[in-house]
Chains A and B, each alone.
Chain A
Amino acid sequence: MHARPKHMSSRLFAALAAGTLVTVALSAGATAAPAKPKAKSKSITIAVDQFPPVLNDMTSQGNGEWTAMIAGPALARGYKLLPDFSYQPWIFDKDCTVSSPSPFTVDCTIRPDAKWSDGVPITSADFKFTYDTIMDKKNDVVSRNGYDKITAFDTPSPAEFQMVFNSVFAPYRELWAGSSTTVLPEHVLAGQNFNTVWNKCICDPKTKQPISSGPMMVKSFTPDQQVTLVPNPNYWEKKATVPKVVFIPVRDSNAEVNALRVGEVDMIYPQNQIGLRQRIESIDGAKYTSSLGPQWEHFDMLSTVPGLDDLQVRKALATAMPRQQIVNRVVKDANDNAEVLNNTQYMVNQQPYVPNWSMYPATGDVDAANAILDAAGWTRGSDGVRQKGNVKLAFTVGTTSGNQARILSEQIMKAQFQKLGVALAIKNAPDILDTNMTGFDFQTLIFAWVSAPDPYGGNAIWLSSAIPQQCSPKQAKKFACDQSGQNYTKVRDPKVDELLNASDTQTDPVARAALFNQADLQLATNDVTVIPLFQKPTQLGYRSSISGVQDNPTQDGFTWNIEDWNLTP
């Protein structure tokens, strides 16, 4: 009696199963065609983990690491920043020269063959137009630093211009080097709204044709989806040979590696991660390269916090800090050359670098640190934590939540400082740098500053005058704090102020570097509010079929020599 119904149910479900399988098979049929390698071989696809919303790197809205690397090859600058942090004249035919010390005057000359992709020569009028655009208050430019010291901008001929400054301005090269210092085409942008004109294209807004002064042109841009660069046929230097470079968003770093592995992308440049190098190097036909860039990681102590207001405590922490262990565990994996950073003004791979902080042993000396604290009168309590009077050496350490490398650094420090009788409680938050830091609602922090070839930009971290106004945590939550200074550890050292102010007016490079190094030594011996840890390595993975790739850890990024890239079959 049950035999028939059972058969019936079997048929029913066989039919249902067949239907489902057919549906799946139909879609699988559509999926069975392998990707066409032909199309890929003629282009390079690059994964972007933070896709730029707009293309204009000079506006605060567009300014960013990836915008510079994507739009950079289409827009030449006065100088190119080389991987060794030096300046190489690009549009300029030679290094700009100081023609008068008072008033401080700088003369620059332009290469006679430099021209825009539409054939119009690049002239001093373009530089003047750029300067005017930057200084126009209507424009949302990312920075006017340095330009605002110019009192006169003269263009005696199309091939030369002269900048007169209101005081000696030694880092004048920075005005025409690096990201957000692009030279703008006057004949194309005059009369346009600079805040929006290059949001969706780097083009002539009247004809919509791409405009370029570099080796590539931006052929198309779809926000959040794709940017395509093609060679600029009228480039006035070595022409690019790769027919097309496409940037696409790949947000997840694991997916980036997988995409490189299967050939969906040809290059990846993710944020520094532990274990990434090994994963890239294990890919057949992929290469890995890493550079030590201008981003440097550090441990900050707010010098007004009870306990941390004692220089001997800060020195003891610097003495015990196991910086070598942090380097070994956090960044050595990414870059064999990674080492402990012993300077707050210059990076290890910069010529003026002097290891001023090597007075603090890289491996961390617990005995010496204990001796410093003992001598300073800090005694261990019953809980093992040192104290003096009512003040205990128990602090919080914070960083951005989810940053695994920094969390590892925190754990290493916590374990080490425990041996000193200093308790460190990890207290991370996603917006710790936006709110806690600016509201001085922290005790110690780990994060990174981004430096530049010339350290003058970092003065805002050290000058007494750069301590932001007192800002309550409540104000910080509302982002209503003064952001003009970045001296968040509240270091006040008249000698550092004097040395850094002197560096601003010293044009001799050797003497200037000496001033920065003296300031750094003073910070290391007399202040110790910011302990340098290491330079953050960049991590670039790419198909070995692409030759000529060389990473550039400066703001110019790895696309800096795109004209040297070649595709081999």
Chain B
Amino acid sequence: MIAFIGRRLLVAIPVVLVATIVLFALVSARGDPLRDFRHRPGVSQQTLRNLEDEYHLNESPPVQYLGWLGDFVQGDWGTSFRTQEPVTGMVGEAAWNSFLLVGTTLLFSVAVAMLVGVLSAVRQYSTFDHVATGFSYFGFSMPDFFFALLLQLVFVVVLREQLGIQLFYVQGKYTVGHEGELGNLLQHMVLPVATLMLTSVAAWSRYQRDSMLEVLHTDYVRTARAKGVPRGRIIRRHALRNALIPFVTVVAIDAGVLLGGVVVVERVFSWPGLGLLFFDALERSDYPVLLAWMAVATVFVVLCNLVADVLYGVLDPRIRVGGGAGS
């Protein structure tokens, strides 16, 4: 297994490098990173030269990239042009906040999608299956930002105005005066998580349904039934495990995609995570933060793919063996 993970890691490294080259080129294409500094009346030529040296801006683009990559790998992510704070701390804090959303979304989405998918497959063409299918279409077609505002309206505004209670919140991580309270944090997380869950559950439940149906129609399941193995046991021990293989893969890959959803959802809910950090950095041309953000996002997506590969190997040992034989 370790050799398998090692092989996958070796494959992941060039993927990360290529992705960072592309992203570095995109960020560089935005123009002179020091343009704001150059227009500030009090910034001396020496300061500009120092910044040019720090970010290797006097070098050719390939050398700039290598310089940035070297600094990044050593943990020197620079200082934000916008806030003058170390980028590592800013990205770290934002990443933790985004992780709270993405992690919780993953947990609940997997549980709900599995449940809905399996039930839909086992009761194919039942009312439940039709409703679940309808929900999936709804989830696919509903834009994140619109659904987020809809949730705010229904679960915050209407609840508050009609029933006089406030279960959830429309913005922020904590209510002013309640910083650090777990309950308050959870109240603030519910709607962003529900928004992120919509597309995930819609997609994953369809995968799980199809995968489960495929397995339920295989010969070995039919044989098991013929031998009188109880249906519940067939579903749990024979069908579900095999049906989980494509499901887990899709979930692991999609976890990286969730980061894209976070960018929109965090803005609507003013959640202080990577999404908001990205917007702020983009609007103020905060070059060090943009580059670090892109790199972290790349590593995260590649890691998700790596996890997908590893889980695939865990669930289906043939893949590990096949990979080993082939190497």
* B149 CB-CB contact with A under 8 Å: yes
| A195-B44 Cα distance, complex, nearest whole Å | 12
The answer to whether B118 has its CB under 8 Å from any CB of chain A is: yes
CB within 8 Å of A: which B1-55 residues = 31-32, 35-36, 38-44
Bitwise, A543-567 to B at CB < 8 A (1) or not (0) is 0000000000000000000000000
Contacts of A238 in B (CB 8 A): none
Q: Does A394 contact B (CB under 8 A)?
A: no
Given A224-B280, A251-B279: A31 touches B118 (CB 8 Å cut-off) = no
Partner of B183, one of A33, A143, A195, A224: A33
Contact A258 B170 (CB under 8 A): yes
A30 touches B182 (CB 8 A): yes
On whether A195 and B122 interact (CB within 8 A), knowing A9-B235, A31-B190, the answer reads: no
- Are the CB atoms of B171 and A9 closer together than 8 Å? no
Which of B62-70, B80-88, B309-317 lies at the interface with chain A? B80-88
Known contacts A60-B41, A250-B171, A479-B32; A53/B176 CB under 8 A: no
Whether A263 contacts B160 by the Cβ 8 Å rule is yes
Asked if residues A224 and B276 are in contact (CB atoms below 8 Å), the reply is yes
Q: Are A479 and B31 in contact (CB under 8 A)?
A: yes
- Once bound together, how far apart are the Cα atoms of A102 and B279, in whole Å? 52
Asked if B231 and A9 make an inter-chain contact with CB atoms under 8 angstroms apart, the answer reads: yes
Interface bracket on B: 35 or more
A204 within 8 A of B: no
B178 touches A251 (CB 8 A): no
- Report the bound CA distance from A6 to B123 in whole Å: 10
Establish whether residues A251 and B267, one from each chain, have CB atoms under 8 Å apart when the complex forms: yes
Min CB–CB distance B15 → chain A (angstroms): 30
In residues 459-476 of chain A, which contact B (Cβ within 8 Å)? none
Contact flags A44-62 to B (C-beta < 8 A → 1, else 0): 0101000001100001110
From residue 89 to 123 of chain B, which have CB atoms closer than 8 A to chain A?
108, 111-112, 114-115, 118-119, 122
Question: Does B157 interact with chain A (Cβ within 8 Å)?
Answer: yes
- B112 to A, closest residue via Cβ: A20
- Residue numbers in B under 8 Å from A9 (CB-CB): 122, 231-232, 235
Q: Which residue of chain B lies nearest to A143 when distances are taken between CB atoms in the complex?
A: B41
Residues on B with C-beta less than 8 A from A34 are 165-167
- Which residues, 5 to 28 on A, are CB-close (under 8 Å) to B? 5-9, 11-13, 16-17, 19-20, 23-24, 27-28
User: Would A251 and B270 count as touching, CB distance under 8 A?
Assistant: yes
Q: Which residues of the partner chain B approach A199 to less than 8 Å between Cβ atoms?
A: 83-84
Asked if A35 and B175 make an inter-chain contact with CB atoms under 8 angstroms apart, the answer reads: yes
Query: Quick check: is A483 within 8 A (CB to CB) of the other chain?
Result: yes
Known: A30-B186, A53-B83, A60-B41. A246 touches B161 (CB 8 A): no
Interface contact B41-A223, CB-CB below 8 Å? no
Taking the complex as formed, is A333 at the interface, i.e. its CB lies under 8 A from any CB of chain B?
no
Known: A8-B230, A255-B149. A262 touches B176 (CB 8 A): no
Known contacts A137-B42, A246-B176; is-contact A252 B270 (Cβ 8 Å): yes
Q: Say whether A458 faces chain B, with CB atoms less than 8 Å apart.
A: no
What B residues does A16 contact at CB under 8 A?
A: 114-115, 118
What is the CB-to-nearest-CB distance from A132 to chain B, in angstroms, rounded to a whole number?
Answer: 13
Contact yes or no, A264 B175, CB < 8 A: yes
Task: Judge whether A223 and B152 touch: CB under 8 Å.
Answer: no
Is B171's CB under 8 angstroms from A248's CB?
yes
A47 proximity list for chain B (CB < 8 A): 171
| CB-CB under 8 A for A225 and B272, given A27-B190, A45-B176 | yes
Does B299 touch A at the CB level, under 8 Å? no
A96 at the interface (CB under 8 A from B): no
Q: In the complex the two chains form, is B44's CB within 8 Å of A249's CB?
A: no
Within 8 A of B (CB), among A486-504: none
User: Is A508 an interface position by the 8 A CB rule?
Assistant: no
Q: Could you give, for residues 136-162 of chain A, a 1 whenever the CB lies within 8 Å of some chain B CB and a 0 otherwise?
A: 111111111000000000000000000
Q: In the complex, A284 Cα to B157 Cα: how many Å? A: 12
Q: Are A224 and B153 in contact (CB under 8 A)?
A: no
Q: Does B293 contact A (CB under 8 A)?
A: no
The residue that B31 contacts in the complex, of A53, A259, A477, with Cβ under 8 A, is A477
Contact partners of A278 in chain B: CB under 8 A: none
Query: Which residue from chain B places its CB closest to the CB of A43 in the assembled complex?
Result: B176
A80 proximity list for chain B (CB < 8 A): none
Is A206 an interface residue, CB under 8 A from the partner? no
The reply on A4 being an interface residue by CB < 8 A is yes
Beta-carbon contact of B42 and A141 below 8 Å: yes
Given A53-B83, A140-B42, A251-B279, A4 and B152 contact (CB-CB distance below 8 Å): no
Query: Please, which residue of chain B has its CB at the minimum distance from the CB of A16?
Result: B115
Of all chain B residues, which has the CB nearest A246?
B176
Residue of B32, B40, B170 touching A478 (CB-CB under 8 A): B32
Bound-state Cα–Cα, A4 to B111, Å: 25
| Chain B residue contacts of A428, Cβ below 8 A | none
- Interface residue B287 (Cβ < 8 Å from any Cβ of A): no
A208 at the interface (CB under 8 A from B): no
Residue pair A196, B84 in contact (C-beta under 8 Å): yes
State whether A252 touches B268 (Cβ < 8 A): yes
Q: How far is the CA of A11 from the CA of B171 in the complex (A)?
A: 40
Assembly CA distance A118 to B196 (angstroms): 50
A188-201 vs B, Cβ < 8 Å mask (1 yes, 0 no)? 00000001100100
Chain B residues with CB under 8 Å of A254's CB are: 149, 152, 268
Q: Is A167 an interface residue (CB 8 A)?
A: no
Q: Is the CB of A479 within 8 A of B35?
A: yes
Please determine whether B270 and A250 come into contact, CB atoms closer than 8 angstroms.
yes
The answer for the CA separation of A415 and B114 in the assembled complex, in Å, is 54
Task: Let me know if B215 is at the binding interface, CB within 8 A.
Answer: no
- Given A258-B153, A258-B156, answer yes or no on A31-B168 (Cβ-Cβ < 8 Å): yes
Contact (Cβ within 8 A) A258 B230: no
Chain B residues with CB under 8 A of A6: 231
What is the CA–CA distance of A19 and B115 in the complex, to the nearest angstrom? 10
Complex Cα spacing A28 to B267, Å: 24
Closest B residue, CB atoms, query A10: B232
Report the nearest B residue to A24, measured CB to CB: B108
Considering only CB atoms, which chain B residue lies closest to A27 in the complex?
A: B186
CB distance from B160 to the nearest CB of A (A): 4
- Does any Cβ of A come within 8 Å of B247's Cβ? no
Within 8 A of B (CB), among A365-400: none
Q: Contact at B270–A249, with CB atoms within 8 Å? A: yes
Residues of A within 8 A of B231 (CB): 2, 4-6, 8-9
With A and B bound together, what is the CA distance between A440 and B215 in angstroms?
A: 65
- For residue B284, CB closer than 8 A to chain A, the reply is yes
A453 to B175, CA, bound (A): 39
CB distance from B321 to the nearest CB of A (A): 31
- A510 near B: Cβ within 8 Å? no
Cα A6 to Cα B277 in complex, Å, equals 51
The answer to whether the Cβ of B169 comes within 8 Å of any Cβ in the partner chain is yes
Docked pose: A352 CA to B175 CA in angstroms: 47
Contact B234 A479 (CB under 8 A): no
Inter-chain contact B167/A31, CB cutoff 8 Å: yes
CB of B176 within 8 A of CB of A226, answer yes
A262 touches B156 (CB 8 A): yes
**Closest chain A residue to B104, Cβ basis:** A27
Q: Which residue of B lies closest to A249 (CB)?
A: B270
- In the complex, which of the residues B152, B175, B176 contacts A258, with contact meaning CB atoms closer than 8 Å? B152
Chain B residues 251 to 274 lying within 8 A of chain A, measured CB to CB, are 267-270, 272
List 18 additional contacts besides A53-B284, A263-B160; criterion CB under 8 Å.
Answer: A5-B230, A11-B232, A28-B190, A30-B182, A30-B187, A31-B186, A35-B169, A39-B176, A54-B84, A60-B41, A138-B44, A246-B176, A249-B276, A258-B152, A261-B157, A262-B156, A479-B38, A479-B39
8 closest Cβ contacts across the A-B interface?
A5-B231, A8-B232, A140-B42, A479-B35, A39-B177, A60-B40, A31-B187, A53-B82
Chain A to chain B contacts (Cβ below 8 Å), 30 pairs: A8-B233, A11-B232, A13-B119, A30-B186, A34-B166, A39-B176, A47-B171, A53-B280, A60-B36, A60-B39, A60-B42, A138-B42, A199-B84, A223-B83, A225-B272, A248-B171, A249-B272, A249-B276, A250-B172, A251-B279, A252-B267, A254-B268, A255-B170, A259-B171, A261-B157, A261-B161, A262-B161, A262-B166, A262-B169, A478-B31
